[in-house]
Amino acid sequence: MDDPTFARRVAAVRRFNRFYTRQIGILDEGYLASPYSLADVRVLYELNYGEPRSAAELSRELGLDPGYLSRILRRVENAGLIERTASLTDARSTIVALTTKGREEFAPLDRKSAEEIGVLLGRLPARDQTRLLEAMATVERLLGGSAADAPLVLRQPDPGDLGWVVQRHGAIYGAEYGYDAEFEALVAEIVAHYVRELDPKRERCWIAELDGQPVGCVFLVKASDRVGKLRLFLVEPSARGRGIGGRLVEECVRFARRAGYRKITLWTQSELLAARRVYARAGFRCVAEEPNQAFGRDDLVSEIWELDL
């Protein structure tokens, strides 16, 4: 026999769904008065704020039927918003990424979405804004959301991130390898030079973020007109084992190709085994090594790795 109490609860959830879809304009013919559907924009959002990934990964992360996602990708690809390239780590996969046009098309939609949510929140006093956010967090938690499900975001640095890069390099390498303040000073010098001499068309920094917190980074800087240099590659110990390092290096390589470099080089130490495995999987090879006394250590072996593009 049907439970009338449960039936009323189902009706209440459906009523809330109808209310909220009206609030955020899901039923409009074009989302945010654009030529794109909500599903289109959702895919663009993932590619703009997350790392490039395969269609299979997108399908799993968004909970979309692969055939439906394929039609979305075909539509936005025909519009010139995405591009597909061969994966560096899996020959069976192609990686989906936004094109320059895709980022330009998405940017005003992203701003408009944020503005509309700002208007929605702005109707409420601060106390009610907090209550709303707490209620949303409760819904997410009860329906199975968790920090472990948080998508990886690769983004350019926000204010404060570059200081984080210096601090975390000093702390992690000090704890794990005994490097002294000389190493942290070197990192600070690299970061300062990057900021002062930045060529945005040929140089880039990526911050890896999980659940709103930075968990990794990598830089690509100009060594010459034909050679890019990978620097300051780091993944937080708490975030290792999730493929974040591979994603950072793969995005770095993809950007280097678009920027017109013919080769990427990097300098590392032989004892950084996890990083070396990431470099090798991405196609880098060690081309030189020599003993090195630095960072309070007299037993280091420095290596130069290269990748022809």
| pLDDT at residue 271, rounded to an integer | 95
The token duo for 113 is: 């979405």
SS3 226: coil
CB 256 within 8 A of CB 85: no
Between CA 23 and CA 35 the distance in angstroms is 20
CB 250 within 8 A of CB 214: no
Q: Where are the domains of the chain?
A: 4-145, 152-308
pTM of the model: 0.60
Reference 217, options 236, 201, 199, 203; nearest CA is: 236
Architecture of domain 152-308: 3-Layer(aba) Sandwich (3.40)
Neighbours of 23 (CB within 10 A): 11
pLDDT digits (tens, 9 = 90+) for 142-170: 887 655 556 678 889 999 999 999 999 99
Show Cβ contacts of residue 36 under 8 Å, excluding neighbours closer than 6 positions: 30, 44, 76, 109
Number of H helices, E strands in the chain: 10, 10
**Fold adopted by 4-145:** Arc Repressor Mutant, subunit A (1.10.10)
For residue 63, the one-letter residue type is: G
pLDDT digits (tens, 9 = 90+) for 5-34: 888 888 888 888 888 877 776 666 677 778
Neighbours of 81 (CB within 10 A): 23
| pLDDT at residue 26, rounded to an integer | 66
Residue 18 host element (H or E): helix 4-24
Locate all alpha helices (DSSP H) within 86-232, ordered by sequence. Answer: 100-122, 126-142, 161-177, 181-197
Between CA 82 and CA 72 the distance in angstroms is 11
User: Which residues on adjacent β-strands are paired with residue 229?
Assistant: 221, 265
pLDDT in tens, the chain (309 residues): 568 888 888 888 888 888 887 777 666 667 777 888 888 888 898 888 766 778 888 888 888 898 999 999 999 999 999 998 887 766 677 889 888 899 889 888 888 888 888 888 888 888 888 788 778 778 877 887 655 556 678 889 999 999 999 999 999 999 999 999 999 999 999 999 999 999 999 999 999 988 778 999 999 999 999 999 999 999 999 888 888 999 899 999 999 999 999 999 999 999 999 999 999 999 999 999 999 999 999 999 999 999 999
| pLDDT at residue 63, rounded to an integer | 83
| pLDDT at residue 299, rounded to an integer | 96
